[in-house]
């Protein structure tokens, strides 16, 4: 349903065994990249989901450790056969256009079009190549505009064939009802709610980075009570003793990320965006699992698949 890969789990600077911030989502054969730290194209190649299938990039914000991999990635894409009929769209907060225009000075001739989508937070939108996935975002607390993203595959209510037959709906019309259309049966109209069950929860993944805890962020993870199947969260600091002394922290500790997962109704948590001083994140994992047991310390190329619940 949704395949998710944590391409890079580091923040600030790349390390020999830890690349910078990036996550890859595969849905229906297409790829969506969230952030693009240095060397991201290497991780995409290692995951081997088909680089040419990348059509969308979501940028959380314009700090270097989240965007400096873009020129190299776009040049690598140019050698995959991607052409003028296969555009790439990059979304993010301002100064998106100014920053990317500067970065692409070193990649001025690409064989495919690159479009920009400027976001402020609060938007919900679909993608041109699929109507089965929605993206939403929320503004988070950082020292420059920064967004958290949610990717959701909605799930239709269960169709009740016995009810459809009782109402005299021909089998040839069932698909229309399942897709939200009304159908005429004799001199009356059958609407989808006549033959569909209650709403069912879809599949959702949320990525949060470079922020402090806020009520709006918790509500975003909660998703109107449906929660989130997988929360990928900033966890730059193992604990409060690691917080910077020279300036106010703009990141989360392990405990803060776990609290966000718990209070937001997440079902799983991957910690990521570790600071360079945090050489062994797994050694501090109990600081998160004591609050939210279903927590994993992220690492490069950590991958899993999210599917609908059995019901």
Question: Mind telling me the catalytic residues?
Answer: 65
DSSP element (H, E) containing 99: helix 96-103
Residues with Cβ within 8 Å of 4's Cβ and at least 6 positions away in sequence, in order, are: 23, 24, 25, 26, 205, 230, 232, 303, 304, 305, 306
Collapsing DSSP to helix, strand or coil, 270 comes out as strand
The values of phi and psi at residue 7, to 5°, are -70, -40
Containing H/E element for 116?
strand 114-118
State how far the Cα of 1 lies from the Cα of 78, in Å rounded to an integer: 28
Q: Please report how many Cα atoms fall inside a 13 Å half-sphere around the Cα of residue 94, on the Cβ side.
A: 1
What order of strands is seen across the sheet that includes strand 302-306?
Answer: 114-118, 88-92, 54-58, 30-34, 22-27, 2-8, 302-306
Which residues fall within 8 angstroms of residue 111, CB to CB, at 6 or more apart?
A: 78, 82, 83, 84
β-bridge pairing 269-272 and 230-234? parallel
| 215 three-class SS | helix
Alpha-carbon gap, residue 302 to 90, rounded angstroms: 24
Q: Cα separation of 204 and 152, whole Å?
A: 4
| Pair 70, 62: CB distance under 8 Å | no
Neighbours of 267 (CB within 10 A): 15
Decide if 48 contacts 311 (C-beta within 8 A). no
């Amino acid at each position: 349903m949704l395949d998710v890969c944590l391409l890079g789990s580091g923040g600030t600077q790349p390390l020999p065994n830890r690349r910078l911030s990036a996550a890859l989502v595969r849905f229906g054969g297409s790829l969506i990249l969230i952030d693009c730290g240095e060397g991201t194209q290497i991780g995409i190649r290692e995951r081997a989901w088909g680089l040419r299938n990348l059509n969308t990039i979501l940028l959380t914000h314009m700090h270097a450790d989240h965007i400096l991999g873009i020129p190299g990635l776009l040049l690598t894409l140019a050698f995959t056969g991607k052409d003028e009929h296969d555009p790439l769209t990059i979304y993010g907060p301002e100064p998106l256009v100014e920053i990317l225009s500067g970065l692409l000075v070193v990649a001025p001739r690409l064989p495919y079009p690159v479009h920009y989508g400027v976001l402020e937070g609060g938007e919900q939108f679909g993608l041109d190549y699929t109507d089965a996935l929605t993206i939403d975002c929320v503004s988070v607390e950082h020292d420059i505009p920064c967004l958290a993203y949610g990717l959701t595959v909605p799930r239709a209510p269960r169709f009740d064939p016995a009810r459809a037959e009782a109402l005299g709906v021909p089998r040839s019309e069932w698909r229309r009802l399942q897709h939200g259309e009304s159908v005429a049966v004799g001199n009356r109209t059958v609407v989808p709610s006549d033959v569909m069950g209650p709403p069912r929860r879809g599949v959702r993944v949320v990525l949060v980075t470079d922020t402090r805890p806020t009520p709006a962020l918790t509500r975003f993870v909660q998703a109107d009570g449906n929660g989130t199947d997988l929360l990928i969260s900033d966890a730059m600091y193992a604990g409060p003793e690691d917080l910077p002394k020279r300036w106010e922290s703009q990141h989360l500790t392990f405990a803060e990320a776990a609290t966000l997962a718990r209070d937001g109704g997440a079902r799983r948590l991957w910690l990521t965006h570790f600071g360079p001083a945090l050489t062994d994140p797994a050694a501090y994992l109990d600081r998160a699992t004591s609050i939210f047991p279903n927590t994993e310390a992220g690492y490069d190329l950590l991958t899993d698949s999210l599917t609908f619940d059995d019901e």
